[in-house]
Amino acid sequence: MKLYSRITGTGSYLPPRRLTNADLVAELAAQGVETTDDWIVERTGIRARHFAAPNVSSSDLGLEAARNALQAAGVLPQEIDLIIVATSTPDMVFPSTACILQNKLGANGSTAFDVQAVCSGFVYALTLADAMIKSGAAKKALVIGAEVFSRILDFKDRTTCVLFGDGAGAVVLEASETPGILASDLHADGKYVGILCVPGHVSGGQVLGNPLLKMDGQAVFKLAVGLLDEAARVTLAKAGKTAADIDWLLPHQANIRIMQSTARKLKMPMDKVIVTVDQHGNTSAASIPLALDTAVRSGQVKPGELLLLEAVGGGFTWGAVLLTL
């Protein structure tokens, strides 16, 4: 019997502290940084984001999202045999955030590791989990994207600090006799490291370099639209599908302009694009599962529909996954 994998439950979690653009503008003004709600909305589509409290980590956010996904799937933590956490803001240098989350969840003994592909992290992690289930190495997996990007933002740089938020999303992926994940396509090109990075590291108890996010927004935009289109078309071709077959496009929630440009290239109307960037900001690896859970729980996305997930991230990494719920 050929094995496939299917998403059987989704979950998400946002920290309670919600900052509208007006809230953030006021906080930045107190630090001598000027921006406006109109400026942020026009360039990004973002109207609000959530920030975690200082004592809250990525594993804490991911834990709540995981519990919600498990409840939706009707699966107990002890039944999980694989946990993959996609994050760029881990709790510690080591062990992995996945191991820390595993212990908090009570799923001890399962395979657990992190994936670091920045905003493409969830697409990478989902593809890995799918491959492990198809190979028989796992039967029930938790795939989680969790980020506390507010910790690595430069609040003196208005071009980046207004973009990001904290949050987590998760899915339960289970072995199935019927296809759920139909195809995927992953890539990376390290020559673009410098356009989106956090160029700092720890050495001898000191932070060397700059531990805050740096981004060349125009370079990222130009690169992202083309790569997303390419990944989408390759993934569709692998599954013998076309853009016309897609019920929902679920892109990484980075910037409404990138999302609109991607949809235009695929000749898809925006009413078939899942959009949460306005309320969540860019939550990096958490953005796709967070948006997916929001759409599923609102009834926007229904069982049996065909979804194309796609993302780009620092690295530069990019990829897409085609699946049916």
Q: In the annotation, is 252 catalytic?
A: yes
Q: Let me know if 187 is a catalytic residue.
A: no
| Confidence at residue 1, expressed as pLDDT on a 0 to 100 scale | 78
Whole-number pLDDT of residue 305: 98
Q: What is the pLDDT of residues 35-91, one digit of tens each?
A: 999 999 999 999 999 999 999 999 999 999 999 999 999 999 999 999 999 999 999
pLDDT-derived band at 204 (thresholds 50, 70, 90) equals: very high
Query: Is pLDDT above 90 for 177?
Result: yes
Q: What is the CATH number of domain 182-324?
A: 3.40.47.10
116's enclosing H/E stretch is none
Percent of the chain with pLDDT over 90: 99
Q: Which of 222, 197, 65 is nearest to 144 (CA)?
A: 65
CATH number (3.40.47.10, 3.20.20.140, 3.40.30.10, 3.40.50.2300) of 4-179 reads: 3.40.47.10
Question: Which amino acid is it at 325?
Answer: L
The SS3 call for residue 179 is: coil
* Secondary structure tally for the chain: helices H, strands E: 10, 15
From the candidates 50, 197, 252, 280, give the one annotated as an active-site residue.
252
Residue % of the chain over a pLDDT of 70 = 100
Which of 99, 119, 161, 197 is labelled catalytic? 119
As a whole number, mean pLDDT of residues 265-271 equals: 97
**Are 4-179 and 182-324 equal in CATH topology?**
yes
Q: Tell me, yes or no, if 282 is annotated catalytic.
A: yes
Delimit the domains of the chain by residue range: 4-179, 182-324
The pLDDT of residue 19 is above 90: yes
- Taking only the tens place, the pLDDT of each residue in 97-137 is 999 999 999 999 999 999 999 999 999 999 999 999 999 99
Out of 21, 68, 255, 282, pick the active-site residue: 282
d(CA 309, CA 101): 25
What is the pLDDT confidence band of residue 213, given thresholds at 50, 70 and 90? very high
What's the confidence (pLDDT) of residue 124? 99
Q: Cα separation of 113 and 269, whole Å? A: 37
- What tokens appear for 249 in the block? 């496009």
Cis ω before 316 (30° cut-off from 0):
yes
pTM to 2 decimal places: 0.98
Give the amino acid at 57: S
